[in-house]
Amino acid sequence: MEYVKHAPVHLENQAGNKIFCIPANFKKFDFESLEREYSLPESHRSITWQNIASAKLGDIIYFYYVSLPSVHCRTERRILMRGVITETTHLVPKCLVEVTDSKELVKAVSIGDLLPISLTDNQKFSFDQLKQCYHVKQFRKRHFTLEDANLFEALEEEAAKSQYGGQTLMDLTAYFRLL
């Protein structure tokens, strides 16, 4: 596949969709709460997330989770989920995108087509592997763009395996309930 880089360094797939990675804290955005939001009728399945200013309809989002529970008695951090922007900037109460009671309206996006990424291999797409194999240096607070086409291809391959194997967001919830 061929990818195009744009300043300030955005990787795009052949369809022209940008590829983002956004951080998520398991303690604030656990899978059970995401599953409740995502369990609407299939035509409306999406989650609401903080606005990603330059995101457009169809852009690909990878979720980099921190504070994941682990069988090794330490928290883990890794890319664990893939989604697609299904609705661009719209206004929602702040309490839908942050842990707060505030009803103030803030900008958000809707992300659908959620797929787990490599559930059982806790080293795959971990920060250590991303740093060592794909030269990812750090994560900015809100999101970063993927700059490495090899990483994107590896992530897409894992997402395809999940989709082919019938894995869903509900499988993520079940997996982490066991830990």
What gap in Å lies between CA 133 and CA 135, rounded to an integer? 6
What is the number of other CB atoms lying within 10 angstroms of the CB of residue 13?
Answer: 19
Q: What is the mean pLDDT of residues 138-161?
A: 76
pLDDT in tens, 156-176: 898 888 887 788 777 877 777
Residue 154 and residue 157: Cα distance in Å, rounded?
Answer: 5
106: its two tokens: 């803030």
Q: Which CATH number applies to 4-177?
A: 3.10.590
pTM for the model stands at 0.82
Q: What is the pairing mode between strands 60-68 and 19-25?
A: parallel
Domain boundaries, the chain: 4-177
Does the CA dihedral 162-71-26-145 come out positive or negative?
negative
Per-residue pLDDT of 16-34, as tens digits, reads 788 888 888 887 776 777 7
Q: In which residue are the tokens 């490495």 written? A: 148
User: How far apart, in Å, are the Cα atoms of 18 and each of 1, 99, 152?
Assistant: 15, 28, 11
Q: What is the band of 57 on the pLDDT scale with cuts at 50, 70, 90?
A: very high
- The alpha-helical segments, DSSP class H, found in 96-179 are 127-134, 149-164, 169-177
d(CA 19, CA 55): 9
Q: Which residue has the tokens 């019938």?
A: 166
> Which residue's structure tokens are 């395809």?
160
